[in-house]
Structures are given as C-alpha cells and as structure tokens.
Chains A and B, each alone.
Chain A
Amino acid sequence: MTGANVTTDPATGPALKVDRLAKRFDGAAAPVWSDISFEVPAGQSVAIIGGNGTGKSTLLRCCLRLIEPIAGDIHLHGERLTGCHARQLRRMRSNVGFVFQKHNLVPRLSVLSNVLHGGLARSRGPRHWHQALARQGDREYAMHCLDQVSLAHLAERRADHLSGGQSQRVAVARALMQQPRTIFADEPVASLDPQAGEEVMGTFAKLASDHGLTLVFVSHHLDHALHYAERVLGLRDGRLDLDAPTAHENLESLRTLYD
C-alpha cells in the first residue's frame, strides 16, 4: 500500500494548491468563477458544495486540467500542473483517482478487466488491457481492491450487468487499483438511491482514511459534506464563498450558501 507513508513526505507539501484560478467558457460573458485560491493538505478530506451552475464540477475538472482554466496556477503534490506538457500532465494525473457521477465503466468488459484498467495510470500496454493478459500480481491486487468494496464475488460479471451502486463501487475499486495519493469524486452518489449512496460514501471515506488518501469530492448532499469531510468549500456567485472546517458548520449554516 503506498498511501499511508506518502502523507508524511515533507517534499510534497500540500496535495493540491490552487492559486487565483479562473474559468470562463468560450462565448460566455461572465466567468464561471474567478480568483479561487485554496490549499488541501495531504490526507485531508474536502467537500465542495454550492448551488446548481456554480461550477463545482468545473472546478474539480480544472484541478486536473480535464477542462482548461483561463487563469491561475495549480500545483498537484508539489508539482506545477498548469503549463506542463502532455507527458508530464499524464504522469501527474496518474497520482489522482477520479470517480465520476456516472461510473464510466466499460460496459462490455468484465468487472475484473475494468478494475485492472486502473493500472493504466502507472504503466502502459497490453498487460493492463484485459484480465486475461494481466500479470498474476496485478490480478491478485485487483481482486484485493474489489474485496475492499465487497464485490470480489462479482469479478467475472459484465460491467453492464451491475446495479448502479455496484457499478460505482467498482469505479472506486478501479481508483484504488491506481494506487493514487489523492481521489477526486464528482457527485459520486448523485445517480444512486439514498441507501446505495450512503454505502458508496461510507466505503469512500473509510478507504480514504485507511490509506491516508486526500479526498476532494463534489456533493449536493449537505449531510454527506458534514459527515464525510473535514472541511467544506462553498461556491457562490462566481467565487469561493465558504472555506471552513466542517466541525464549525451545521446544516443550517451551510444552507445559507443556497439563499
């Protein structure tokens, strides 16, 4: 497991450092948000909240340059992400697991093959394409990742034959296979029923704390933000309106962000 000792590495500094970031989409008059600055220390779990259209998901995607910001600087694990070339960008992204609102598994492949795809972050080639071609060690580690989300018994099932909650847990296992230092999650439970949503968030928070991972997630559920994050960032009117430890907040205080 790589996660536990990385957090204490003094060379890395904060897991994520965002400095005066701004984003405006082509053709739009006003920026989505601007002048966003914050730091996430390694090992912290942070929730990003805000009303519809405030650009929460855009912010998360900009932090990996899946969407390009128009201004500002991003440092991931101590390295500057903005302005680097495709190859460096790929290397830096490999340290960050990304779980989407929609699980984004490859539907026609088995659960095990999908989990093994997490290994593509570390190295290339046919060994990671399909479970039949994978190294024995990787197959075993993939099963271990599936076991951590309690789905080892479904390894052979096709990904499109899973329920929504199971699919999202496989996506979490795929992120673990990557052995990331940080996990980003964009409304990971938005398409799940409340019970499956609680299960997935619970799995997430436990794994992040067990492995000492940094966790940054976007959520519409204020109770999830309070329960699973140590710190909450709130977006409103194109700027960072709230940055506080969740211990100091409650449902009422967070709701004012939506007024």
Chain B
Amino acid sequence: MTEVVQPRPPARLQAPSLVSALLFAAFLAFFAWSLAGAGISISELIAGLPNMAQIGSEMVPPATDRFFPMLDSVVVTFQMAVVGTVIGILLSLPLAVLAARNHSPHPVVRAAVRGLVSFVRTVPDLAWALFFVASVGLGPFAGTLTLIVDTIGFCARFFAEAMEEVDSGPPEAMSAIGAGPIDIIVCATLPMAMPSLVNTSLFALEKAVRSSVVLGLVGAGGIGAELATSMEMFRYDQAATIVLMIFVLVMAVESLSSQARAKLIGGRG
C-alpha cells in the first residue's frame, strides 16, 4: 500500500512582492502628507457646525418672492443645455468619423483629431466658460458655447469608440460591392452604432443640464447667476428655492432621458 498524499490548498494570502510593498508604503506616506495639504481640520469643522445649522435654518421655508424670474432662468438654463448638446452632437459626428480607426482617412488625421478632442475634454468646463465670457461677453451665449465644446469633448470620443466597435461584416459587404466610404458610414456603421450613439447623446444632455447650472456662477447665463446672487446677499431662503428647482430639473431630465433611451433603442429603420 502506498500512502495517499492529500493535495493541500494553497496559502490564503500571497506574500506581496518587494516592489508592490514599497509602492504601497509610498502611497501611505503620500496620503499622510496630503492630509496636511488638503487642510483637513476637525476643529474647524466643529467650529463651522453652528454656521451650517444657521444657514440651514435660514433656508426654511424656501422663498417664493422671486419664483417667476427664477423659473425663467431655469428655462433658459435648460434651453442652453438642449441647444449646446444638439449642436455639440452634430459637430461630434464628423469628428468621430475622422477619429475612428476603421473610417479615418489617415492615421495622422486620426491622431490629430483625437488629440484635439482630448484637449477639449481635459480643460474643465468652468475654464471654457471663463474663456467664452471673456470672448463674447456675459450671458447665455457664452454658456451655450461652453456646452457645445464640452459636448464635443465627451461625444466625439465615445462616438468614435462606438463606430470602432461595430461588427465589421456589413461594412465589408458594402465595400465588396464598390460602395463609397460615406455610403458605408451612413448605411452600415451609423445604424449599427445607433444604440450606443443615442445612449451617449442622452448622457451628454444630462451632463450639460448639470454643468449649465454652475456656468452661471462665472456669468455664463442661466440659473447659476441667480444662485450666486442669492448666496452673496445672504438670501439662503432664495438659494434653497433655486437648489430645489435645479433638483427638479435634473431629475426630470434624467427620468425623461432614461425613458427615451428605452424607446429609441428599440426603434426601426
């Protein structure tokens, strides 16, 4: 009889390699240093609590004296978001075609467009808003331009990826019979990428509604300007009304967009 050797389970934890242990230690040290840099202070937080309570109590009940002018600003905010998103999407489509690996006319064009779109995306929307306010002046036009640029940074990238991911069969079938590049994009690539394009576009709209709210803080039109004024004049009750309005607007847009998403993605051509 030979002795039966029971297979042993592996160790529960594997010893980390020296490199990962050093990296982890380096991260801990950096985090400890960053705590100081971030200005975390429990005492200041405690000292600030009464102020928070004071502001909170002044917010209730929300003021209704400027309800209609505020509603007007909310509508303008939404209009900026819709116009900015739609124009941004329309401009994103040709850029996405140039940036998509399977449709770009040349790798240099693709790299250039990708670089441009990355740059647009990397610059924060508030920085774009400051730039456009300085260029075209205060008001909703500067905000709309910001939202167009912001939408391009978001949509052109995801549109290009959606176009790259479609099944290559139908475009190849059209290429095999001698169809031109534009026909192939319109007839095969776009319809096949449509669910993804619709999804991205609706996210872009939601994103635009949220960012259009803060654009007003730097003078680029919309409800943000009302919010800034109320806070500066210590009218926290008015600020509360504005925050509630923004909440309702964002919720409404998100709920409508998820319904639209479900509907449009099941459509027929």
Contact = CB atoms under 8 A, between A and B. Distances in A.
A139 interface: no
B178 A91 contact: yes
A104 B179 contact: no
Nearest to B268: A158
B169 A104 contact: yes
A121 B179 contact: yes
A109 interface: yes
B21 interface: no
B177 A113 contact: no
Contacts of B183: 120, 124-125, 128-129
Contacts of B268: 108, 110, 158
A126 to B, nearest CB: 8
A35 B243 CA distance: 77
Interface residues of A, number: 36
Contacts of B169: 100, 102, 104
A120 B187 contact: yes
Contact of B173 (A90, A98, A107): A98
B194 A108 contact: yes
B36 to A, nearest CB: 55
B81 to A, nearest CB: 28
A106 to B, nearest CB: 5
Contacts of A124: 179-180, 182-183
B57 interface: no
Given A102-B169, A109-B269, A66 B192 contact: no
B120 interface: no
Contacts of A64: 176
A240 interface: no
Contacts of A175: 177
A92 interface: yes
B62 to A, nearest CB: 47
B72 interface: no
Contacts, number: 85
B191 A106 contact: yes
Contacts of A117: 174, 179, 187-188
A89 B173 CA distance: 15
Contacts of B182: 124
A94 interface: yes
B269 A96 contact: no
Given A98-B173, A102-B169, A108 B269 contact: yes
Contacts of A126: 186
Given A104-B169, A129-B183, A66 B177 contact: no
Interface residues of B, number: 23
B175 interface: yes
A105 interface: yes
Nearest to B269: A109
A176 B196 CA distance: 32
A88 to B, nearest CB: 10
A113 B269 contact: yes
Contacts of A166: none
A92 B177 CA distance: 9
A183 to B, nearest CB: 11
B186 A129 contact: yes
A66 B187 contact: no
Contacts of A105: 170
A252 to B, nearest CB: 35
Nearest to B193: A108
Contacts of A171: 173
Nearest to A94: B178
A130 B180 contact: no
Given A104-B170, A109-B269, A158-B268, A92 B188 contact: no
A90 B177 CA distance: 7
A100 B172 CA distance: 10
Contacts of B178: 89-94, 120-121
Interface string A33-70: 00000000000000000000000000000001010000
A49 to B, nearest CB: 22
Given A96-B177, A117-B174, A158-B268, A108 B186 contact: no
23 contacts: A66-B176, A89-B178, A90-B179, A93-B178, A94-B177, A97-B177, A98-B176, A104-B172, A106-B170, A106-B192, A107-B170, A108-B192, A108-B267, A108-B269, A110-B269, A117-B179, A120-B178, A121-B178, A124-B179, A124-B183, A128-B187, A129-B186, A158-B268
The 6 A-B residue pairs whose C-beta atoms are closest, nearest first, are A93-B178, A94-B178, A120-B179, A104-B173, A90-B178, A98-B176
Given A104-B170, A120-B178, 9 more contacts: A90-B179, A93-B175, A106-B192, A108-B194, A110-B269, A117-B174, A120-B174, A120-B187, A128-B183
